[in-house]
Structure 1
Amino acid sequence: MGSKFKVTSLKADTKYGIVASDLENLMDKGCQKLQLSREGCRVCLFEDGTEVDAEYFSRLKDNCKLIILEQGQKWNGEIRYYLKEILHEYDNSSDELITTAKSMLSEEIRPKKRKLLQYFVEDSTENITAENRDDDQKWFEGLNPRFKTKSDYMSFSCGRRMRNYLAEGAFDEDRCTFIHSINPYGSRENRIVFSTWNLDHGIEKKRTIIPTIVKTVKQQKIDNRKVKRFYSLLFTLANLKLVHIVCHKKTEHKLSCDPPKTCMGKKRKRNSLS
């Protein structure tokens, strides 16, 4: 007999109920109801825009909301659609929209929705597009008057930090034996060499960390302590060093994911970038 669905299109003002036994049947009935040309059409979930194929169709629940798109049309999902409509509606009265969002923050709402509202309010009240000092004086408070634009200050700040890059040496050394340092502003050659520097994992990502994660998951022995350990090995300075290409040893490191007993586990002073 088939399942029940609610279908619509970008042109339709409402959703229509139809019963379909398979995807082709749905396309035929849906296009007829929505007065669309069948050629080039495709079906997507109204909720998030996921495209529905024949296999996925069999897993759809009764009364699932679908949208039939004509060739070249896109659908990013229900939430983005309604958000776009709201922003369009309040295009000339953004203050009213911000006030409404702030009032909703005082109500009992789910944490995820609260966070989204907070992001919206913060982004809406910040003066992101302003570039000059006169247009956003609060942003420039405490800065030298010689900085006239945000770009001027950010260029200076980034440049000052970059002039102090120091290499940390090979994975099995406490410091760079070559005393590598570089100023990418110094010369064209230095700028090119600087682009080759990278972060090196002491305990190797591909050879050791990833296989250990896979093994742990398969054995169902994962816990918060191990998650934190793996995160530390993959993404933090506990297992990452800034390495000059000369010091980057490509040979197997032969270090395990067990609590560190090598030089990588020693507490050492990190090079500052400030």
Structure 2
Amino acid sequence: MKKGYKVTDVKREKKIGVAAENLNELIQKSCKKLGFNVGFVECKLFVAEDGTQVEEDDYLDTLPSQTLFILLKNDETMITDFDYYYNMIRSTKKEYIDTGVAAKEFLTSNIKEKFRVFQKYVAAASDARTMLSERAQDPQWFVGLEPSEKTKEQSMSKRVKERMKGYYYKTKSALLSSELYTNSKRGRGKKLIDQFLIDLRKLLESNKYNEGYFNRQAEKNVRLCNENGLFQCGGLWNNNECAYQGEHVINPYRSREERIIFQTWNLDHKIELSRSIIPKILDAIEWLYSENIKCISCENDFKIGCIETDSESRRKVDNPYW
């Protein structure tokens, strides 16, 4: 089934619409419509919003219709939408930058009180339809979703799979663009990264991309919400609980508005994917590459080792990447 997308080039001078069934078709049509004088195999496709490279149909399938992509020739460098427009505004509209600084101060100061205000808005929503499940029972909740999504639980399971796939492909994109991977003199580093990504994907696939995380009807030890669909923040990624004492909660099953807000709601305040997790993975692979390996259990040194991808093992050790 074909989906419609928007595609532009690195200069954002021309934006085109393309209907495609798979990644190759999308790149071929985009290359032709944008007038690129190179073959489609010499082009790469990126998500404009965050700069993630789209390399597989599986990832493309997780992105919604009308997603904006940047098509680059191999010798061009990706610039995200944020960086592009920020640099443009910065060069011409200083007052906009000052406004942004003021907005940042608003979002970072007195944050507990702002959470209380948000929570009052959430609490004001009617609970009457929260426990309804089927589309026919609460049609307003399903506005904007695919007709194939018949229950709230099915829809939320689909959302978590999309989110998990997105995390995987962003991780993959970051690792494949690292110096350890691209440096041709470090072939073993490339092999270690390739193997880690294979193991990680197999683990995600075997767990069906953790489809039960957002499903309130899943087993208690699987889901991240309670039986009513209420999610409570677990605190910062390296803490055991949230500092906001039960105020940082959301129930996407209650209303369409909360479902939409939940799309950008992180379960641990912020995802440390780029700033912490990916660098730690690269550090671990670097240690393997240099044969500087110490077992976390017995503290003995070894010449060979592997990166542990299993989430259960990560909870049991101090260094979560072995």
User: For the superposition of Structure 1 and Structure 2, which TM-score range results when normalised by the shorter chain?
Assistant: 0.3 to 0.5
| TM-score after normalising by structure 2 | 0.33
More helix by share: 2
- For the pair shown, the structure with the greater C-alpha radius of gyration is 1
TM-score (norm 1): 0.37
